[in-house]
Amino acid sequence: MNLRPIAEADVVFLRQLYATTRADEMASTGWSQPAIDAFLAQQFEAQHRYYQEHYHDAQFSLICHLGQAIGRLYVFRGPNTLNLIDFALLPEWRGQGIGTRYLQALTNEADEAGKAIRLFVEPGNPATRLYSRFGFVVTGNNRVYLQMQRSARTSLAQEASA
């Protein structure tokens, strides 16, 4: 597994990945497949544009396995907080510990820097259990997303140098 920066050529994959994250929701709409496809394309474009405009200094990465894209990890590193903007895997790669691996790396990075981590997640998303295991707590709820945050922690390296 490795991360690599997204490129313009990855937009087709990113659009498909986005659609997989909304599949259950779309299945309950009763819409035709062309209507679902059009809606998801519009939603992806709006989200992608928003992320690029509002988090232009973020790290937008593809998660790759043997050179094949299997997910995305978007992180903005602010002065006091790491913002986990988006984290998604193709369905066949979910539940295999990949999320745990990358979340562990982010929490280690945050601990080393003494930073908090913040994210937004849909209330029914199974990832909320993973985030809770890593010490994230709900700090807000706008009925569409839960805001979760993990407080800054002092790393052992920081304590040793203090």
Q: Tell me what pLDDT residue 131 has.
A: 94
Structural domain boundaries in the chain: 2-161
pLDDT over 70 at 139, yes or no: yes
> What's the pTM?
0.89
Q: Indicate if the pLDDT at residue 153 is higher than 60.
A: yes
Q: CA geometry: angle at 142 spanning 40 and 6, to 5°?
A: 40
Average pLDDT over residues 30-57: 95
CATH of domain 2-161: 3.40.630.30
How far is C-alpha 1 from the geometric centre of its chain's CA atoms? 16
Average pLDDT, the chain: 92
pLDDT of residue 132: 95
pLDDT in tens, 91-122: 999 999 999 999 999 999 999 999 999 999 98
Give the pLDDT of residue 162: 47
Residue 155, pLDDT score: 52
What whole-number distance in Å separates Cα of residue 113 and Cα of residue 133?
21
Is it the case that residue 51 has pLDDT exceeding 60?
yes
